[in-house]
Structure 1
Amino acid sequence: MGVVPEHEIIVTGYARLPDETTAQKLYTVVGVTLLIDAGTSIIKDADITLATTVAKDFFRRVVVGGNMEKFESILRVFENQYWGTAKKSIITALKICYLKYKEYLKSENRKN
């Protein structure tokens, strides 16, 4: 079994996809998974349930290396540069991930 550092966490977010998307036919919802270094708030890895490699690659290039403390800058890229039908679903799923990350931080602060 591999060792996962305690400061690495995973958060997920899901949002319903529009009916007219290929991804909706495959998944019904878009799923976003972020691996975050909670010590630095940097997103170390990410995945999304989209149908095309190009869209998945774009998502990873935008998100990986991003900082959860500057989350609005990640959302802005999707608002301004992603014009696929799943745009609102992706943004919603990302916002859910952000809220879960904030919940994690609050729970950690209560422990200290």
Structure 2
Amino acid sequence: MKRNKIFVSGYAKLPGGITATEVYTEIAMTAVLDRVTGEIYEIECTLVTNTAREYIKKLLAGRNINDIDDMVKDIADNYFGIAKKAIIASLTNCYERYILITKSGNEDK
């Protein structure tokens, strides 16, 4: 049975020389989305500090994954941590996964 809430994840390589690479080599972003509308119910990422994780969560939760360009711009304009590019890449990966699942009917990939 297909449910209205779906789970997607995206990954990106972290830049070297930051604290996060001592713990992780990649950043993971996970989201619970509305299958039909793309609304983001929950989202989190594997940044090291709680402040960074909460900032990204508050920036993106409640928005719509289909507004990827606006969310990427918001991150680019307001997040100045070294992992910015990895955050954008992992979010974009989540979006691409959502499109693959919902638009192509390829829900098993």
Q: TM-score, normalised by structure 2?
A: 0.90
Kindly indicate whether residue 85 of structure 2 is the aligned counterpart of residue 88 of structure 1: yes
Output the aligned Cα RMSD: 1.9
**1 CA distance for matches of 2:94 and 2:106?**
19
Structure 1: runs of 5 or more not aligned = none
Aligned residue in 2 for 1:100: 97
Aligned residue in 1 for 2:14: 17
Aligned residue in 2 for 1:29: 26
Q: TM-score, normalised by structure 1?
A: 0.88
Deviation at 1:58, TM superposition (A): 0.5
Deviation at 1:39, TM superposition (A): 2.4
**Paired residue secondary structure (2:105):** helix
Bigger Cα displacement from structure 2, 11-20 vs 101-110 = 101-110
**Paired residue secondary structure (2:82):** coil
- Aligned to 1:47, which of 44, 49, 60? 44
Q: Which amino acid aligns with 2:77?
A: N
> What fraction of aligned residue pairs are identical, expressed as a percent?
33
